[in-house]
Amino acid sequence: MAATFASICSPVGCSLLGGLSNSSPSLFSTSHELTCRNFFSQQQRTFIQMRTVLKVVDNSGAKKVMCIQALKGKKRARLGDTIIASMKEAHPNGKVRKAKVAYGVVVLAAMHRGRCDGSEVKFDDNAVVLVDKQGQPIGTRVFGPVPRELRQKKHVKILTLAGHIA
């Protein structure tokens, strides 16, 4: 990461505060500062894989989970895929406890997903809804938007619990 940053931003004309330095030349700073800003604003968006920490967006009692394995013989999971997850943080009187293992369906993913009409959907963070072995949600509410791609993956019950379908 440091080597990549050093190759993109030279000491002339780029600061860590988004190029707000007054000591840089004006002709060089405009294009070079845009390069630096793009480097910080474009984070690498990847699949959900082992050891990825995800938020839980239902009322099952868990706050954060860590992906152990993506199901169906895949190494990585995308929007609508089922994963096996370990609870990392949980409410003290919830339905699930810390360090327990449960299944989850990925409902928000930071990696973009193309749609049939040519548009793309992507979210700011990764989130999951906890389900049992049959695929029924453990919680009774789902917070935040849920993409309509879950209908194709046969997770209709999650769509009915959600407040907003994106």
Within this chain, do residues 116 and 156 fall inside the same structural domain, yes or no? yes
Q: Which CATH number does the domain housing residue 143 bear?
A: 2.40.150.20
Within this chain, do residues 67 and 128 fall inside the same structural domain, yes or no? yes
Within this chain, do residues 133 and 104 fall inside the same structural domain, yes or no? yes
Give the tens place of pLDDT for each residue, 81-122.
999 999 999 999 999 999 999 999 999 999 888 889 998 888
157-166 average pLDDT score: 91
Number of domains in the chain: 2
Residue 46 inside a domain? The answer is no
Give the rounded percent of residues in the chain with a pLDDT score beyond 90.
Answer: 56
Within this chain, do residues 25 and 89 fall inside the same structural domain, yes or no? no
Residue 47 inside a domain? The answer is no
Per-residue confidence (pLDDT) for residue 67, from 0 to 100: 96
Residue 59 inside a domain? The answer is yes
Per-residue confidence (pLDDT) for residue 100, from 0 to 100: 95
Within this chain, do residues 29 and 91 fall inside the same structural domain, yes or no? no
Within this chain, do residues 29 and 64 fall inside the same structural domain, yes or no? no
Domain carrying residue 30: 2-41
Within this chain, do residues 96 and 126 fall inside the same structural domain, yes or no? yes
Within this chain, do residues 29 and 70 fall inside the same structural domain, yes or no? no
Give the tens place of pLDDT for each residue, 32-70.
454 444 444 455 567 899 999 999 999 999 999 999 999
Whether the pLDDT of residue 150 is over 70: the answer is yes
What is the chain written as a DSSP string? Answer: -HHHHHHHS-SSS--TTTS--SSS-HHHHHHHHHHHHHHHH-PPP--B-TT-EEEE-BSSSEEEEEEEEESTT-SSB-TT-EEEEEEEEE-TTSSS-TT-EEEEEEEE-SS-EE-TTS-EE--SS-EEEEE-TTS-BSSS-EEEEE-GGGTTTT-HHHHHHEEEE-
Residue 8 inside a domain? The answer is yes
